[in-house]
Homo-oligomer: A and B are copies of this chain.
Amino acid sequence: MSTNFDIAQLRSSCATCSLRELCLPVGLNDQEVHLLGEVVSHKRKIRRGGYLYHTSTKFQTLYAIKSGFFKTCILEEDGRQQVTGFHMTGELLGLDAISGDLHTCDAIALENSEVCEIPFAKLEEISRTIPSLMRHFHRIMSREIVRDHSIMLLLGSMKAEERLASFLLNMSRRFAIRGYSETSFILRMTREEIGSYLGLKLETVSRAFSKLQHETLITVNNKHIQILDLDRLKLKMGNTSCLT
């Protein structure tokens, strides 16, 4: 029975996870990954539309997305709302909550999803003995800051079509990294959610889709997007670094 238990552990641990090279374990050796796996043993399933966490609830664990797709959004008292990000497999959720021990946004599943729970106190603890883990964790936080800066550039200086092109190229690249097609994919979010993320109204997003389609840069079939000319789409947005 001990054997069965070990196998189950192994199965669900970081060591054998297909996302090992995308997620927190990047750069760790086998022994280190094993240690990390013991900290990250617990998992959680979230149904489409369900909340992974709510704003203002206590923060104790980070979450790594094992499968599925999430959005995070902030909601102000006055009703103002904004999607701050869309999140795919291997990405970490909850980094914003470290600063105040409370979640500062809602995380909502856009399809049935599964996450790995990473108790933050334990992560800090073991990262003291695994320098490469600490370093990679710092890189992940820093990358989030860089991402946010490029979204600020987008929101501050791009027109609707440029924003949408930028968004599609970003999606394309992230799908490609995960082994999916970079030119044909299904968007999990609504036009309204895209608009909130890009600082546009849903009608403007819809119009921008139509415009890009008329210019034969993409094909739009509701949520199914096909990119017909990646290079020309990149030109659209002036060769900026497209939401790194």
Contacts and interface: CB of A to CB of B under 8 A. Distances in A.
Contact of A80 (B127, B153, B155): B153
The A interface, classified by DSSP as helix, strand, loop or mixed, is: helix
Interface string A71-100: 000101110111010000000000111111
Contacts of A153: 74, 76, 80, 82, 84
Nearest to A97: B142
Contact of A141 (B138, B149, B152): B138
Interface residues of A, number: 50
Interface of A: 74, 76-78, 80-82, 84, 95-100, 104-105, 124, 127-129, 131, 134-135, 138-146, 148-153, 155-158, 196-199, 238-241
Given A82-B153, A104-B146, A155-B155, 9 more contacts: A74-B149, A74-B150, A74-B153, A77-B239, A78-B238, A80-B240, A95-B141, A95-B145, A100-B146
25 contacts: A74-B149, A77-B239, A78-B240, A80-B240, A81-B157, A84-B153, A95-B141, A95-B142, A96-B142, A96-B149, A97-B142, A98-B138, A99-B142, A99-B145, A104-B149, A105-B149, A124-B135, A127-B134, A138-B141, A141-B145, A145-B145, A148-B148, A151-B152, A152-B152, A156-B198
